[in-house]
Structure 1
C-alpha cells in the first residue's frame, strides 16, 4: 500500500531522503488541499534547515558573446556570427561592464556566453577564456567570478584537445571562483535529445560538476522546467542532483553544490518548434510553486539553499516562492540578457532596495550574502569595491 501524504511529509521533515516514488506522488497530486499541505511542509523544512532570513546577492551578468555554434530549441539568445543582433564584447568593454557593476556594489560577476569557435588566442580557446578571467580579476581581485558552465568546459576541452580536469584547473588558476550549474536543463537524455541535442549528455554534465567539486570549485545547480518534461523526469533530475551532492559529501570533496534554482521555461521568443509544442509563452506560476516545494522536500538537507528566478516569474512570483521552500531571492542581475531575450517580463535588473522591500512583505529579515552564502556587510562591500574602482582609475 502506498504511504499516505502525511507519512511522506513527516519522513521529509525528519531528515529522511524521499524515494523517487514518494517524490513523484507529491508532484502528481492535483488536490489543492494536498498541495497546500506540501507547501506548508516545504516551508517548515526551509525554516528548520536555514532559518527565517532571506538572503540575496548583489551581482552583475556579463554575457560576453551570443555567437554560438549550437541550436538549442529553447534558446532565443544565440546568434550566428553574421546575423543581426550578434555581439562579441572586446576586452575593454568587458572590464568596463565589470567596473559599472562594482560601482553599484556588485560582489559577483556571473559570466557565461555562447560557444563561439572564433573565440581563441593563438589558436587556443583556453587562452581566450584565461585572458577573459585574468583581465577582470586583475582589475577587481575581490570580485567573485561565477563563470562558465559545464557545457563551456566541454567546449574548451574539445576545441583544444584537453581533459576536463585540465580545463577546470586552468580556469580556477586564472581566477574563476565558482561554476554555474547551468546547461543542466533536464538531466534526462530523452528530453535533452529534443531540447538540446548538440549539448553534453547527462553523464558528461554530472562528470564535469563532480570534477569541479573534487578540484575545489563550488557549483550551483539548476533545472529548466515547465516545457516537455514529465513529472517523472523532474524527479529523475532532482534525484541525480541529490546523488551528486551525496557523493561529494562521501568523498569529502573541498567544495559542493551551493544552491538549487528552478528556471521555468519562457517561450515567447523561443524557436517556433518548441514554442508550438509547449503551447504557451510564460511560466505557469502554480506549477512552478508546486515543483519548488517538492524540490525542497526531495533535496532535503543535501542542498539547503533554494532560489526562485524573479526574471522568469516576476518579483511577485519569486516572493511567493519564498513561502514554498525558497530561502534566497537571488541577485540584482544587472543587465540580464538571456532570459529577457526569450520574452521574460521580470526585467533586467533590480535594486537592493527593491529586493529588500519584497522580502519585507513577508515580515522576514533580509541579509546580503556573497556567492557562497556567507553573510557580508553592505558597508564593508562598498568600501572594498570603492577602493578597487579608484585603483582602476589611477594611472599605471
Structure 2
C-alpha cells in the first residue's frame, strides 16, 4: 500500500467513527508530504466542526506564578531558581491579590496558579497549610473567580512533604476553593523520555493516578503534551492513547469531573539548559510539525476530549491562529502575564487583549465567544461585573 493509500484509509476509518489507534497515529505523525498533510488537516477540521461546531472560544484569565523557587532541575526548564539565586521570587499573597484585582477589573473569570516546588513554602510546618491559605485568601478576595490551580506535580509534592494521600490533598484544596487542575507536568507520558527530560519529576503512572483521583473528587483537569524535543512519533501517539484512556475511564466510571481540554505545548529551547538545547538543535517550535500534531490530536481525542487549544505563548498569536484551521476550537486565555515559557525564550509574548484574540478568530472567518474555565459561555455583562 502506498503512503497516500495508507493515509486515505486511516482517515476514512476515523471519519467512519473508528477510534484512531497508536500504530495508525504514528503513521500520520510521520507524514511529510504537503498534500497528505492537507488531507489530515481537512479531516481534523471536518471532525472539529462535527464535534464542537465552528465557534472559537477564549477565556479572560490571569496567570499567577507565585514562586519560581524549585527543588527540581528539569532539563527543559529556564524558569526555576534556587532560593539565593538571582531572579528568584516568592510573592506575598498581598501582591497576588493586587494582581488579581487588576485582572478582575479587566473581566477575568479565572486565575491560573502554578509555581515551583519550594520546600520552604509551609505554614505550621505543613505544605498543605500554605497552599490552603493561599487559595483561601484568593477565594475570600475574589469569590466569583475560578481558581485553576496546581499541577499533578504540585499535588505529589504536597503529598510527599506532609505524608498525605493524593485524595486528602485534593479534597483539602477543593474545600479551600480550587476549581480545577492544570494538566501540566505530563510532558510526555513515557518514562524513558522523562528520565532524560525531567528525571526528578513524578513518573507517568503517578501523573495519571493524580488526574484520576482529581476526577473522582470532583476536580476537572486539562491535559497537555510537550512536543518537539526528544520524543518519537510513536511516543507522541502512546501519550495521546493514555490521555484517551483516562477520559474513557472517567466516562465509564461516571466520575463527577473529566478532562476539559487538550493543549499542545511545543518545546521552546532558546534559553533552556544547554544539554537539552544542544540535543534538540532548535530554539523555537517547528510550526508545521506542531500543526500536524494538533490535527492528529483532534483525530485521536476529539470524540472524548472535544476542546483543543494551541499555545499562542509558544507559537505566537499568528501561529496559534493557524491552528484553528488544524482542528482547534479554542484560542486560550489573555494570561496578562506569563513567566515559565517566556523565561525559556518564547517569542509569542506574555499577554493578549480580548480585542486581539477576537481579531485573530475573526481573521479565519469563525465566530468568537467568551467562555469560562469549564467551557461554559460567559455573558459579556457578567464577565465585567467583577
Matching residue of 1:321: 323
Superposed, 1:21-36 pairs within 5 Å as 21-36=23-38
Q: How far is 1:279 from its partner?
A: 0.4
Taking structure 1 as the reference length, the TM-score comes to: 0.96
Corresponding residue for 1:112? 114
| Post-superposition offset of 1:4 | 2.6
The match for 2:372 is 370
Aligned equivalents of 1:374, 1:149: Cα separation in 2: 22
Residue 348 (structure 1) aligns with: 350
Q: Which residue of 1 aligns with 2:192?
A: 190
TM superposition shift of 1:14: 2.6
Counterpart of 1:257 (choices 244, 248, 259) is 259
Residue 267 of structure 1 corresponds to 269
What is the match of residue 68 of structure 1?
70
Please say if 1:126 is aligned against 2:125. no
Determine the structure 1 residue equivalent to 2:46.
Answer: 44
- Secondary structure (helix, strand or coil) at the match of 2:121 reads coil
Q: RMSD between aligned alpha carbons?
A: 0.9
Q: What residue in structure 1 maps to residue 164 of structure 2?
A: 162
In the TM superposition, what whole-angstrom CA distance separates every residue of 1:203-239 from its partner, at most 9, and x where no partner exists?
0000000000011000000000000000000001000
Which runs of 5 or more residues in structure 2 are unaligned? none
Tell me the residue number matched to 2:83: 81
- CA drift of 1:16 comes to 1.8
TM-superposed deviation, 1:265? 0.4
Superposed displacement of residue 198, structure 1: 0.3
Q: Which moved more, 1:8-17 or 1:135-144?
A: 8-17
2:281 maps to 1:276: no
TM-score, normalisation: structure 2: 0.98
Alignment of 1:234-253 (within 5 A): 234-253=236-255
Tell me the secondary structure at the aligned position of residue 4 of structure 1: helix
SS of the residue 2:179 aligns to: coil
2:149 paired residue number? 147
Figure out how many residues of one structure are paired with residues of the other and give that number: 384
CA distance in structure 1 between the aligned counterparts of 2:129 and 2:99, rounded to whole angstroms:
21
1:4 partnered with 2:6 = yes
Instruction: Show the counterpart of 2:207.
Output: 205
